[in-house]
Amino acid sequence: MNVAGLGDLAFWTNWVITPVVALLILAFVLRIVLTWYPQAPVKQLPLALIYLPTEPFLAPTRRLVPPLGGVDMTPVIWVAIFSLIREILLGQQGILTLLLHAPERLG
């Protein structure tokens, strides 16, 4: 891979993928907190900023995983999924991390 390609990968990794995954994990954690308040007006600002980006993930998952004892477990599932994705791509031994540091190892 040429140096320009690595620069592009570094940009996408540092400025796009990392913040997007982190914001999604934070949004799902906030959705977990919102499940404690079922009467919260989630379709009004500022809660809509948490509700709208996460609902497309949660709605189909709810059809597969119904609430357990009245508790919606789908945000927990998505936190786990995005944490796994983050670790696989961006962790210390992640795919993108290894690609970015490959030239240093080759000499």
**Per-residue pLDDT tens over the stretch 25-82:** 999 999 999 988 889 999 999 999 999 999 999 999 999 999 888 888 999 999 999 9
**Structural domains counted in the chain:** 1
Query: Cβ–Cβ contacts within 10 Å for residue 30, how many?
Result: 15
- In 3D space, the residue among 105, 51, 54, 47 whose CA is nearest the CA of residue 81 turns out to be 54
pLDDT for the residue numbered 1 = 45
Contact 68, 52 (CB under 8 A): no
Mean pLDDT of 7-13: 85
pLDDT for the residue numbered 88 = 96
Place 6 in a pLDDT band, splitting at 50, 70 and 90.
low
Residue 11: is its pLDDT beyond 80?
A: yes
Range of the domain at 71: 3-106
d(CA 26, CA 47): 13
Residue 106: is its pLDDT beyond 80?
A: no
Predicted structure pTM score? 0.84
